[in-house]
Chain A
Amino acid sequence: MPSPLLGAVLVDDEALARSLVRQLLAAHPDIRVLAECANGFEAVKAVAETKPDILFLDVQMPQLDGLEVLELIDRDAAGRPAVIFVTAYDQYALKAFDANAVDYLLKPFDRARFDRALERARTRLAAGGAPPALPLGPRGAPLSRVVVKDGVTVTVLPVGKIDYVKAEDDYVLLSSGGRNHIKKQTLASLEVALPRERFVRIHRSYLLNLDRLARVEGSATGAFTAVLIDEARLPVSRAGAQRLRALLGPR
């Protein structure tokens, strides 16, 4: 059975690095280069438009790094695109594992190493149905920014600009300056990644940026409501109220 034609997208801010991958791919007639991208923004767009089977992804790139790109691209049920990290730095190996990448190529690599990575990708794709990526956990230091996608437009949100986060099934809604952004992530995983002293889980479905809190109102029924600086009102659970009290001191 002839091997299926696979499409690949190459992402690296260095033209020569992309050229090298392209050269090595020339020996593989079953793989076609669909697009080359010099930065993360182009990468998100190209993946959405060309729907590649394989993604060669550099990590250190200006403005949007490879890991953030991974957060933003949609991987289908078969785990497409299979991701091969290509980088000079070995410290991202664990994260690559978390993100369920196929392989991790350390620059500089030779043909043998490259071909082996490609073989792994083919096997993964042929088997179909790769296990879904583990949610990206905290990277050690709390996030200073969150990347979100709207269609193919990527927005980088500094955490200071996030007003609150609302849970919506598998997604979260990040509200910033009156505008809403959707991200495929669970509220729990985001809560762990954001700075703890700044973002409080005030409710099962809400994570609030304390800087935006104007006041907390109580009602006759004993329910609480958080009122934000822009007059938005969010429900506060009993546990949430306790957390707020602990962080803000008695009010």
Chain B
Amino acid sequence: MHPFFTQSGRLGVYLLGWIPLTAILGGLLMLAGGLSLLEAAALATPLGLLYAFLCLSSWYLCRAFPVDSARLLATASALAVASLVAASLWLLSGTTLAWVLALFPVFETLPDRLAHAGPVVFLLGVLLYLLVLAMHYVLEAAEAARGQERRAAELRTLAREAELQALRERLNPHFLFNSLNSIAALVAIRPEEARSMCALLSDFLRTTLGMSERSSISLREELALAHRYLAVERVRFGDRLTLTEDLDDSAFDVAVPPLLLQPLVENAVKHGIGAHIEGGILSLVTRRRGDRISIVVENPADAGSEKPAGAGIGLANVRRRVAACWGDAGHVDAGLSNGRFRVEIELPAGP
């Protein structure tokens, strides 16, 4: 369906543009055919309107023959033929209309005069058709550019939304409150530890704040952040939190969006360690396999065995960010295996 019919505003503007063109037609009829003003007006107005709609058909040609250097000759010939056909049809309609009008005495001489103006009208028809055709090409190009821009903007918004979300979760106030409480406890009994925990906590927060400004960081930096976070949580949970790692450093230089792993690590602590009386083992694994890298975060499965409530939000966030950055090339797999909850992010290692 021609876009002008789905966007009525456009059609109105287009038809308005045909008013001067119709006037030109009228003028030409008077000059070349010697028609009177009345005759020219009576003929030109309906013909102008008719051709306005007829020329809209060039849109289909525009779509069928996109600008493509390979088929330039074929395209040009097709368009030339189309304009000749359109102009001919137009002239034919004009002639028919003239004969109909001739039934009225005041328009008796119209058909003859039109015959004189015939070639000129035909030429005008061809030109007008090509003009409208050109208009369609321009409009299509503009639409394509707009579409691309729209997609790029969407992607940017999605990435920013995800980062904002991650940031909101990052500055998790309850993490802060619990950590501060632990520091308060340490101050009197293990003051050195209290001081180092203050420093660890500040480091973590400072790094987090700095990261939100950047669009990508290395996996090395992301893991360092996770380590700081886990160091703080280690103080809180004591022996309940055991961290095992198997990190392949050939994966470290890969660029990832900042705070990609944080929601996963946080969930792992909350649902894997915090939810278990005895705590358990949290494991981090990174691997490089050729041109793909894999990051795995694993924790003891929530004793309730159903999918833990909070993990849904954090995981959805990670999925969206991976999709926004890598599209189909990135995968996020989450599920239970051997009584442990496992999330694996698989990414291309390239830029």
Contacts and interface: CB of A to CB of B under 8 A. Distances in A.
A, B in one complex: yes
Contacts of A205: none
Nearest to A22: B185
Interface string A49-62: 00000000000101
A89 B277 contact: no
B151 to A, nearest CB: 40
Contact of A23 (B174, B181, B188, B235): B188
B184 interface: yes
A56 to B, nearest CB: 13
B281 to A, nearest CB: 15
A interface, size bucket: 20 to 34
B277 A16 contact: no
B87 to A, nearest CB: 73
Interface string A94-115: 0000000000001110100000
A151 B218 CA distance: 56
A88 B178 contact: yes
A13 interface: yes
A12 B169 CA distance: 24
Nearest to A107: B181
B276 interface: yes
Contact of A108 (B180, B237, B238, B274): B180
B303 interface: yes
A62 B178 contact: no
Nearest to B180: A108
Contact of A63 (B174, B177, B303): B303
A63 B304 CA distance: 8
A39 interface: yes
A21 to B, nearest CB: 9
Contacts of B212: none
A84 to B, nearest CB: 15
A62 B275 contact: yes
Interface in B170-201: 174, 177-178, 180-186, 188-189
A106 B174 CA distance: 11
Interface majority SS (helix, strand, loop, mixed), chain B: helix
Nearest to B183: A108
B322 to A, nearest CB: 30
A20 B277 contact: no
Contact of B181 (A17, A41, A60, A63): A17
Interface in A130-167: none
A15 B277 contact: no
B277 A107 contact: no
Interface string A72-92: 000000000000000011000
A38 interface: yes
A17 B178 CA distance: 9
Contacts of B189: 19, 23
A20 B274 contact: no
B275 A16 contact: no
18 contacts: A14-B182, A14-B237, A15-B238, A16-B185, A16-B186, A19-B189, A20-B184, A23-B185, A23-B188, A38-B277, A60-B274, A62-B275, A62-B276, A62-B277, A63-B303, A88-B174, A88-B177, A107-B178
Given A16-B235, A23-B189, A62-B303, A88 B181 contact: yes
A132 B350 CA distance: 66
B289 to A, nearest CB: 36
B236 interface: yes
Contacts of A13: 274, 277
B152 to A, nearest CB: 41
A19 B277 contact: no
Contacts of A39: 277
A16 B275 CA distance: 17
Most B CB contacts (10 A, CB to CB) among A15, A23, A41, A62 go to A62
Contacts of A14: 178, 181-182, 236-238
Given A62-B276, A108-B180, 8 more contacts: A14-B182, A15-B238, A16-B181, A16-B235, A19-B185, A62-B303, A63-B276, A108-B184
A45 B174 CA distance: 29
A19 to B, nearest CB: 5
A38 B274 CA distance: 12
